Amino acid sequence: MAQQKPADGLQNLTLCETADLIQSGKVSATEVLQACFAQIDRLDPIHHAFVWQDRESALDRARWLDSVRSRGETVGPLHGVPMAHKDMYYRAGRISGCGSRIRSNEPAKTTATALRKLDGAGAIDLGGLAMVEFAMGPHGFNAHLPRSLNPWDHDRVPCGSSSGSGVAVASRMVYASLGSDTGGSIRCPAAANGVVGCLPTNGLVSRRGAMPMSWSLDCVGPLTRTVKDAARVLKVIAGQDGFDDTPAATPVPDYESGLERPLSGIRVGMPRGYFDQDLHPDVQKAITASLDVFRQAGATLVHVDIPKSFSLCSDLHPLVMKAEGAANHRPWKRTRNAEYSEEVGKRLEAGFFIAAVDYINALQYRVFALEEFTSAAFSHVDALLAPVLPIPTPTLEQTAYSNGPAYLKMVVALTRNTRPINFLGLPALSVTCGFTSDGMPTSFQLIGRPFSEPLLFRLGHRFQMETNIHRAIPKALGA
Amino acid sequence: MPIKPELLKALNEQTQNIPVAQERWPELAVELDQLRIAAEAALTVHDFDRDPGEFPAVLRSRRT
């Protein structure tokens, strides 16, 4: 691929393919950026992935990166790669609206560590992407913004809260995007839009300069089209920064270097309990077929009983998230309540009445649950394979806001398989593994021990190489 | 005993002072009951000496 300069269709290349072409001088950063502009001009008036764009700054940077390249130098592994991010990553002096009215006029005082690291690796920051207001909601709707549309089917939700990230990457408008995941907000939109979503181990990536939603659960991670792309981006953004105390003081491995290693000796866990409950037959079929791919690739499949405490992790997750979210929003809830959408405003309310002792006991339980789950789940396997969404991607109508039980059941179902993983702080990699009978992509998540991202990438990459499912093109993009 | 909407309303007036629509109090009571049941269930493994701040260290210790 890197031997030829593509005449067109640059936007269909992966991040790594594009970065390699730029580094080899076969295509310029400016050409790649112009291809992204063309794709955005063609699709964003319909898909509404972007909240804002700064084309002038992006072009200036592309030209500078090309001048660096013309001297035979490169800035880093993402030299000249256009990206855009969930509109909650601060850049000093710039407004990140966080999908809200409340933050729509407030320039940031600092620059997010993740953005600084991407800048340092040569990436181009093209703009801010749509998100659920303050990242509080799984279906992707934001009453303050034009509705982001799923490129596979405009009548289906893009999921959220990193809705614009999922749509922009799936629509080939950018090569990668930072999302954030507190209860599934990277993995769910990745699954709904047919792209890869990476939830790193809690603390692996600094959250400095990212909008806080729930400090103990929030994670920063990428959405990309391939696992290899995700590995490259995570390598850039992971590691300590001296500001956020949570990142682990461990060296960040080169995630790309082990991708091609064989899977012989790797044990993939098939969960018994929790993940197999309320599972739609179409999703079950795709999961079963995926397991067969791993078996044929040399991995050993092993049944794993999910401990009963896992269900309690799922129930305690909203307690922690709501208590922390309410604390963040308390002054605004008192003085600027009318500026919240009805849905998000109501979602915040319960957190104000959670007892401090319940909150602290939930955090104490988290430590116990992590120990128990890792012992139970990973004593016989190296990674677990479980569905991201237990159901086919819902329609817009199914997720229309109401106080009715059907709406509440739908919202809970969207994150039932993802939020316990945040509670446990474990890494998970969402990879498209097939299609439900309505033609929508569906994904598995590979869940591993803390800091087992190298293994998850290795498994996910092998799956993509064996199946090529990730090369399917969303309906709305045309031929 | 389930949480009563009246209790939440009084708590709000005395402490939080956030605007809440009248019809929301019964819904909030149900939601908070569910969260409280989860919190009570967590107490079955309560460990007096367990510090929630140990979580990052336990994450690191469980990597292999």
Q: Is the pLDDT of residue A114 over 90?
A: yes
* Residue A26 three-state SS: coil
User: Residue A248: what pLDDT?
Assistant: 58
Per CB-CB distance under 8 Å, the chain B contacts of A309 are 45
- Give dist(CA B47, CA A376) in Å, integer: 20
Strands A383-387 and A267-272, bridge-based pairing: parallel
Tell if the CB–CB gap between B59 and A362 is shorter than 8 Å. no
Query: Would you list the DSSP string of A121-158?
Result: TT-EEEEEE--SGGG--SS---TTSPPP--TT-TTB--
Q: What is the distance, to the nearest Å, from the Cα of residue A85 to the centroid of all Cα atoms in its chain?
A: 11
pLDDT in tens, A161-192: 999 999 999 999 999 999 999 999 999 999 99
How much is the mean pLDDT over chain A?
95
Full set of structural domains in chain A with CATH = 47-52+83-477 (3.90.1300.10)
Q: Is the pLDDT of residue A415 over 90?
A: yes
Does residue B29 sit at the A interface (CB-CB below 8 Å)? no
Least CB-CB distance to B59: which of A203, A322, A349? Answer: A203
Tell if the CB–CB gap between B32 and A425 is shorter than 8 Å. no
pLDDT in tens, A372-408: 999 999 999 999 999 999 999 999 998 887 767 777 7
Lowest mean pLDDT segment, chosen from A87-91, A94-98, A446-450, B42-46: B42-46
Least CB-CB distance to A425: which of B19, B31, B55? Answer: B55
CA-to-CA separations, A439 to A152, A171, A393, in angstroms, rounded: 8, 16, 10
- Give dist(CA A215, CA A448) in Å, integer: 22
Q: What is the distance, to the nearest Å, from the Cα of residue A132 to the centroid of all Cα atoms in its chain?
A: 13
Q: Is the pLDDT of residue A460 over 90?
A: yes
- Give dist(CA A321, CA A339) in Å, integer: 21
Tell if the CB–CB gap between B47 and A364 is shorter than 8 Å. yes
In sequence order, which residues have a C-beta less than 8 Å from that of residue A426 and are 6 or more positions away?
A201, A202, A370, A373, A374, A447, A448, A449, A450
Residue A3: pLDDT band (50, 70, 90) is very low
Tell if the CB–CB gap between B62 and A449 is shorter than 8 Å. yes
Mean pLDDT of the region A323-337:
97
Per CB-CB distance under 8 Å, the chain B contacts of A316 are 38-39, 42
A280 in Cβ contact with A233 (< 8 Å): no
CA-to-CA separations, A450 to A40, A234, A305, in angstroms, rounded: 37, 15, 19
- If phi > 0 it is left, if psi is from -120 to 50 it is alpha, else beta; for residue A468 that is left
Q: Is the pLDDT of residue A259 over 80?
A: yes
The model's pTM: 0.96
User: Residue A6: what pLDDT?
Assistant: 41
Strands (DSSP E) along A160-241, which ranges? 176-181, 196-199, 219-224
Q: Which of residues 117-146 of A touch B (CB under 8 A)?
A: none
AA identity, residue A93: G
* Residue A249 three-state SS: coil
A461 in Cβ contact with A227 (< 8 Å): yes
Instruction: Read off the tokens for A284.
Output: 């079950």
State the DSSP H helix or E strand holding residue A435, giving kind and residue range, or none if neither.
strand A428-435
User: Residue A244: what pLDDT?
Assistant: 65
User: Residue A78: what pLDDT?
Assistant: 98
Higher model confidence: residue A244 or residue A448? Answer: A448
Q: Is the pLDDT of residue A1 over 50?
A: no
